[in-house]
Structure 1
Amino acid sequence: MKKFIYILSISLLLFFTFNTVTTVAQPKMYSQGFYNMKDLNLSENVSYKVQNNQPYVEGILIIIDADKKIQQLIRIPANATQIPLAPLKYDYRFIIYNNVLLTFS
């Protein structure tokens, strides 16, 4: 009886450890439009990076504060690697111009 319990417990342990599935969340891509921090799921006072995922299209990212002053204006080349952004505040608005697909990380 003890052998059966040992074999059963070892087989269950192996069964549950080998059946793990790793999942990776796909990053959200944002196209042309007007966004705020909540729309982009960004946190305040964090340095983010933006990346253009379009191979042949350049874009512009404009970041505006609550007083409607431009805080950052970034020209993003086609297939750009990650471009760093300054730390963001909660009341910032974003304008993505041109038919680009931007990813924030």
Structure 2
Amino acid sequence: MKKSIFIFSIFLFLSFNINTTTILAQVDQPKTFKEGFYSIRDLGLLENVSYTVQNTSEYRGFIVVFDSEQKIQQAISLDPHSQKFPLKPISNADRVVILGQGMLTFSSLR
């Protein structure tokens, strides 16, 4: 009898500690990045989703998107405090290069 109560207690204890985590992609959250080489995983962006990019700093910025064959897919020069520019949908194999001292903000295209 003691064994069954002990085993039941362990299962009860474990059932209270099981956490169900729901992961939701937050497409609407703007993300800001500075100079560097990024993949879309590094940027936290979703594949094949349209985004806009905007320079929110006082400095010029430049963004270049390369595909998996190292061909330039898109290049945008961004003035300080620029307007939002649409980006082509990015795939997992693409690489994004941000140049300059600007802070570029990525947000979903609505």
TM over 0.5, shorter chain: yes
The letter for the 1-side match of 2:32 is M
Identity of aligned residues (%): 42
User: When the two structures are superposed, what TM-score results if normalisation uses the length of structure 2?
Assistant: 0.68
Q: How many residues get paired?
A: 80
Show structure 1 runs of 5+ residues with no match: 1-25
Deviation sequence 1:49-103 (CA, Å, 0-9, x none): 0011112x11110000110111001111110121111111111101000011011
The answer to whether structure 1 residue 54 and structure 2 residue 57 are counterparts is yes
Moved beyond 4 Å, runs of 4+: none
Q: Larger % of strand: which?
A: 2
1:87 paired to 2:77: no
Structure-2 separation of matches of 1:51 and 1:80: 6
Paired residue for 1:78?
80
Which residues of structure 2 form unaligned runs of 5+? 1-28
Describe the superposition over 1:14-68 as per-residue Cα deviations: whole angstroms up to 9, x where unpaired.
xxxxxxxxxxxx743211010000000111111100011112x111100001101
- Aligned AA (2:50): S
Tell me the TM-score normalised to structure 1 length.
Answer: 0.71
